[in-house]
Amino acid sequence: MSRIGKAPISLPAKVDVSVNNSNVVSVSGPLGKLEQQIDPDLKLAIEDGTLTLSRPTDQKRHRSVHGLYRSLISNMVEGVSTGFTKEMELIGVGYRADNQGQLLTLSLGYSHPVIFAIPEEVKIETISEKGKPPTIKLSSADKQLLGQVAAKIRAFRRPEPYKGKGIRFKGEEIRRKAGKTAAK
């Protein structure tokens, strides 16, 4: 049996979960409302502030989706109650980040600035302090969308292994390589 799939999800006080006829689970809370289509064979049960997901058989298909949908629903519950945040640092001389509303402008050493439109569901904040690298702080109730937006921003200038310059997640370890050795 799936260890992840059979773990119950505790529902906070302000979170409401409902399932409609076409197996769309909608979770609403203080930070918004999220919806997810789940497998029609899986059954949801809400009792005493906990939600459990059960599968009808031990077929490979049922086993493979049991833990997946439990994790997706758990992330939705956590997202609408507390939310998710990701922080990214720009490491490099002259690298800057600025935002006007949902428009992120990055200066990453190219001949032109990189302009990226952030979806409305994701809140963005740029922080520039003297002596510290510029920081981009993203927050959202949707974990999947947040990760996708952060990955797109990181793809504009991935951290390189020699000097470590680029866009990285806060606390991320970059594997460094030794450069060329001087000729005799």
Domain 84-169 in the same topology as domain 3-81: yes
Mean pLDDT of successive 10-residue stretches along the chain, which has 184 residues:
81 90 90 92 89 90 91 94 95 93 94 95 94 95 96 95 94 89 70
| Fold for the domain defined by 84-169 | Outer Surface Protein A; domain 3 (3.90.930)
- pLDDT at position 183 is 67
Q: Which of 135, 8, 145, 167 is nearest to 73 (CA)?
A: 8
- pLDDT at position 156 is 95
- pLDDT at position 1 is 46
Four-residue CA torsion sign, 118, 124, 129, 132:
negative
- pLDDT at position 76 is 95
Q: Class assignment of domain 3-81?
A: alpha beta
The pTM (predicted TM-score) of the whole model is 0.88
Domain positions in the chain are 3-81, 84-169
**What would the two tokens of residue 113 be?**
């600035």
